[in-house]
Amino acid sequence: MNIIDGKLIANQIKSEIAKEVEQLRSDKGRAPHLAAILVGDDPASQTYVANKEKSCAEVGMTSSVYKLDARISEKELVRTINFINTDEEIDGLIVQLPLPEHILVDKVIAAINPLKDVDGFHPVNVGKMVLGQPAYLPATPMGIQLLLQRSGIDTVGKHCVVLGRSNIVGTPASILMSRNQSFANCTVTLCHSKTQNLQAICRQADILIAAIGKCEMITADYIKEGATVIDVGIHRVEDSTKKSGYCLKGDVKYDEVAPKCEYITPVPGGVGPMTIVGLLINTLKAFKKEF
Ligand code: GUN
């Protein structure tokens, strides 16, 4: 069993990005700039945005956070997006999800300039991704592919089972893993809440990507001996032995699944740090105006 050290791989890629940022800063007179909009005070979202700011600083990028009240109207939020869309010194823009219930996520995402959409959520970028055209790829699926690549895991012709069909992870991961490209070229099965015989399908997976959002749902019974397991889940579980009062668990019951795997990502320290790397890569592309 090999533990895929996402933190280590993320740090390696971040130091590669930092070198490029340094060069770009001296060539172009400024560093790439990522803006994040954070609506409301969800603690998990606050942590994610703070981590994105920290990572930008680590690689020498500029970041700014627009903190907006949870009661903001959709119109007002779109006005803020339009303001950032036209700011020539901001290269990438993300709106941290989830948004309060009174705001239509699709409308907000559609308002982002596709050339600054470093989350890769805008319909233009999703469409280009599906067609295999150059586009900003969603950060988590990109991070998963980088983990597979940097760990030298063979994907060609393998059966990849993706659990979960969200727009952010499951659906784009299923598309990217099936493409005719290195570190893809899998036969992909996309499973969801209505899938029948889920355990039997998972047991056929050479590569299992768990993005269901259910804490420790994937037990050893779901795993084929020698599989690669990528755990996208991240859940706060009460833990009085920790200073924070909680610990982090994934969608996979790590202790019983890990012994059956050839490769597995831990939580924390697996996919999480790679999602931020995906975002930094896209921000670099936005700065270089690659699309
Ligand atoms: N919420 C959970 N994951 C993400 C992400 O990748 N981007 C944004 N903007 N919000 C998220």
DSSP 238-278: E-TTSTTSEEEE-SB-HHHHGGGEEEE--SSSSHHHHHHHH
Say which amino acid occupies 276.
Answer: I
- Structural domains counted in the chain: 2
Phi-psi domain of 54 (left: phi exceeds 0; alpha: psi -120 through 50; beta: other): alpha
CATH number of the structural domain spanning residue 39: 3.40.50.10860
Residue 219 within any structural domain of the chain: yes
**Residue 97: what are its φ and ψ, rounded to 5°?**
-105, 155
C-alpha 169 to ligand 1 mean position (Å): 9
Contacts with 212 (C-beta within 8 Å, 6 or more apart), sequence order: 163, 164, 218, 233, 251
Residue 238 within any structural domain of the chain: yes
Residue 22 within any structural domain of the chain: no
Residue 278 within any structural domain of the chain: no
CA quadruple 79, 81, 85, 89: dihedral, nearest 10: 110
Cis status, amide bond into 43, omega within 30 of 0 = no
Residue 89 within any structural domain of the chain: yes
Phi-psi domain of 213 (left: phi exceeds 0; alpha: psi -120 through 50; beta: other): left
Residues 50 and 170 in one domain: no
Ligand 1 and 94: CB distance under 6 A: yes
Residues 172 and 114 in one domain: no
pTM here? 0.97
Contacts with 7 (C-beta within 8 Å, 6 or more apart), sequence order: 269, 273
Q: Which residues of 111-149 are buried (b: 16+ CB within 10 A; e: fewer)?
A: bbbbbbbbbbbbebbbebbeeeeebbbbbbbbbbbbbbe
Residues 57 and 163 in one domain: no
**Residue 85: what are its φ and ψ, rounded to 5°?**
-55, -35
Residues 153 and 220 in one domain: yes
Residues 100 and 155 in one domain: no
Question: For 19-84, where are the E strands, in sequence order?
Answer: 33-39, 62-68
Residues 98 and 155 in one domain: no
Residues 144 and 184 in one domain: yes
Select which of 5, 96, 116, 231 is catalytic. Answer: 96
Residues 98 and 200 in one domain: no
C-alpha 211 to ligand 1 mean position (Å): 13
Tokens 């982090």 belong to 248
Residues 197 and 257 in one domain: yes
Nearest-CA residue for ligand 1 atom 9 is 96
Ligand 1 and 168: CB distance under 6 A: yes
Assigned token pair, 117: 């959409």
CATH number of the structural domain spanning residue 255: 3.40.50.720
C-alpha 97 to ligand 1 mean position (Å): 5
Q: Give the range of the structural domain holding residue 64, as residue numbers without chain letter.
A: 29-119
Residues 181 and 84 in one domain: no
Residue 285 within any structural domain of the chain: no
Would you write out the chain's pLDDT as a tens digit for each of its 291 residues? 999 999 999 999 999 999 999 999 999 999 999 999 999 999 999 999 999 999 999 999 999 999 999 999 999 999 999 999 999 999 999 999 999 999 999 999 999 999 999 999 999 999 999 999 999 999 999 999 999 999 999 999 999 999 999 999 999 999 999 999 989 999 999 999 999 999 999 999 999 999 999 999 999 999 999 999 999 999 999 999 999 999 999 999 999 999 999 999 999 999 999 999 999 999 999 999 998
Residues 198 and 114 in one domain: no
